[in-house]
Structure 1
């Protein structure tokens, strides 16, 4: 199954002139306008970059890397925020089965590593804990309750959110009703822990931005929002699965991000392949970051490399460099 706020050390870079619309000065007003421009740059929102752990899933799953090296690798590559993926700990001896004791091990070890490297814990991305949009009420309730331990863990780690999937029914009206119910149950529990529940466009109806927005509006809770992902807009695949075959129907990604951003509590800059100039070949990053900034978003932007052409470390750094480039930042 495919998955789903970084800069060198603790540096948080200013918002780009090209993205945020600061204009050049006319010669006759140079002295006055230079002062204004400096002030605008000084007071502009800050762009912060985090690393999604899925970016190193092959290192962990195929090369045997200890998932608890996540913080050290993120620090090495210049990130300041961490987005954990629960499924990457499923086979760890000390966390296998996610018992109460295992969850405490995950929390204590992750907290120690993030503190050691001076990084901020942001999100736990939850997979494989049941379908929050299941048509069957009891199945849906069980899935909701399976998520509770991760909400608790996120709170203990100091995260602001858990990311969930809306998988289950493949009948549109039924999916909407079930999604509203599942999200409402989980968000009501999460608000007691001061945790947000955020939904990623992650296949099926959740990748149809208008349908996902409708669900968020119906839930109507301040701690329930979205995690817009630049690349996850496949609504339908050949074999009817969420991830395992060719996409035959895709929602417009730029329209989708624009529709999801008003409810965003995080953003995922998904990348796959790059051209010789370092641009992502599937997504216009400058256009996407303009949409993000126009929405007034000031949180972390998460780097999530998922390509096959570059190695994971190389792909992560290529994505980082592209984000810095399109926002006018330097390394």
Structure 2
């Protein structure tokens, strides 16, 4: 009855608008989609979670209190629960009850996709399958994995190519499985060769699968430390190179240049770059200052909302 009443009310307004010679669209109540959405990465609270000061199951509720309506889980905080359906149901019930969207699961500690042997890579894929299944059950669109390989970072062109060949082979195999679940497999720049935006973009292309995507992390372009000095890749260039296959982005409030120096994030510059790739999905906040985690998360949320309003104007 309420739906019918609302329909008749809307129809009446539209008729009145026509009668007055006014544009019908002026009375549309449909909100325009935001330029981008905001989510919270669970790693932002890692110190509280590891210390037992926060329960993983409370993550959606606390996120909603912070004014954010989407969450990105980290498998480390429910590592033994991937196949525990009662636990996963409780996670889903709590998130749904808060009206909070489950976006993805960040997966660590399950082996190297770029292991040297086919047998090892297949085992790594096997280890990740339970997280693909959990992500599907929770309503996520993706899992995030790492592109670590048996080849440690170096300046060798051969190592650059071999590490890419190995990681792309493992990624393709995992994507073949995830495709049956309608789940994407995202690679984050996470140190070593993966923090070279060009290498990562090329590796994703080499994996040659529509489920293979990226999760650019603004602050993770530190490649390695050599003789006490940082080797890094320009964050803005790296994000730009990774965005064509991005299914999400991860916001840290710092960025890197090519000389091993860290700088404060230029929010408008970075978000203009992200949006230039027709990206309108979730920007995941991944930052929590120790002792004031929630305060710092809210500060970044407000900063992002301000930038969004400015860019929408």
Q: How does 1:215-254 map to 2 (within 5 A)?
A: 215-238=203-226, 248-254=230-236
Residue 65 of structure 1 deviates from its aligned partner by 1.3
In 2, the alpha carbon distance for the partners of 1:132 and 1:252 equals: 25
Number of residue pairs matched by the alignment: 274
In 2, the alpha carbon distance for the partners of 1:116 and 1:247 equals: 48
Assess if the C-alpha contact under 8 Å between 1:164 and 1:199 holds in 2. yes
- Residues 157 and 149 of structure 1: CA distance in aligned 2, closer, same or farther (over 3 Å): same
In 2, the alpha carbon distance for the partners of 1:155 and 1:99 equals: 11
Q: CA RMSD in A?
A: 2.8
Residue 82 of structure 1 deviates from its aligned partner by 1.0
Per the alignment, residue 266 of structure 1 pairs with 248
Is 1:164 the counterpart of 2:153? The answer is no
In 2, the alpha carbon distance for the partners of 1:234 and 1:105 equals: 39
Is 1:81 the counterpart of 2:99? The answer is no
Which of the numbers 133, 140, 145 marks the counterpart of 1:152?
133
Deviations 1:250-308 (A, max 9, x none): 000000011111110011111369xxxxxx95211111101011111011111110545
Assess if the C-alpha contact under 8 Å between 1:164 and 1:197 holds in 2. yes
Assess if the C-alpha contact under 8 Å between 2:288 and 2:294 holds in 1. no
220-229 or 246-255, larger mean C-alpha shift: 246-255
Residue 137 of structure 1 deviates from its aligned partner by 2.2
Is 1:191 the counterpart of 2:179? The answer is yes
- Residues 209 and 281 of structure 1: CA distance in aligned 2, closer, same or farther (over 3 Å): closer
172-181 or 200-209, larger mean C-alpha shift: 172-181
Structure 2 stretches of 5 or more lacking a match?
Answer: 1-27, 153-158, 256-261
Which of the numbers 118, 133, 139 marks the counterpart of 2:120?
139
Question: Higher helix proportion, which one?
Answer: 2
Per the alignment, residue 294 of structure 2 pairs with 313
In 1, the alpha carbon distance for the partners of 2:82 and 2:70 equals: 27
Which of the numbers 63, 70, 77 marks the counterpart of 2:59?
70
Per the alignment, residue 25 of structure 2 pairs with none
Where 2:252 maps in the other structure, the secondary structure is strand
129-138 or 191-200, larger mean C-alpha shift: 129-138
In 2, the alpha carbon distance for the partners of 1:133 and 1:247 equals: 26
Assess if the C-alpha contact under 8 Å between 1:272 and 1:307 holds in 2. no
Residue 45 of structure 1 deviates from its aligned partner by 4.7
In 1, the alpha carbon distance for the partners of 2:121 and 2:47 equals: 31
Where 2:286 maps in the other structure, the secondary structure is strand
Deviations 1:183-214 (A, max 9, x none): 00000100000000011011111110101111
Structure 1 stretches of 5 or more lacking a match?
Answer: 1-38, 240-245, 274-279
In 1, the alpha carbon distance for the partners of 2:210 and 2:34 equals: 22
- Residues 99 and 208 of structure 1: CA distance in aligned 2, closer, same or farther (over 3 Å): closer
Is 1:284 the counterpart of 2:266? The answer is yes
- Residues 88 and 44 of structure 1: CA distance in aligned 2, closer, same or farther (over 3 Å): closer
Is 1:49 the counterpart of 2:31? The answer is no
Where 1:327 maps in the other structure, the secondary structure is helix
In 2, the alpha carbon distance for the partners of 1:99 and 1:294 equals: 37
User: Looking at CA atoms only, which structure, 1 or 2, has the larger radius of gyration?
Assistant: 2
Is 1:122 the counterpart of 2:116? The answer is no
Q: Tell me the TM-score normalised to structure 1 length.
A: 0.76
Residue 221 of structure 1 deviates from its aligned partner by 1.4
In 2, the alpha carbon distance for the partners of 1:247 and 1:114 equals: 43
Residue 166 of structure 1 deviates from its aligned partner by 0.7
In 2, the alpha carbon distance for the partners of 1:193 and 1:99 equals: 15
Assess if the C-alpha contact under 8 Å between 1:151 and 1:195 holds in 2. yes
Q: Tell me the TM-score normalised to structure 2 length.
A: 0.81
Where 2:37 maps in the other structure, the secondary structure is strand
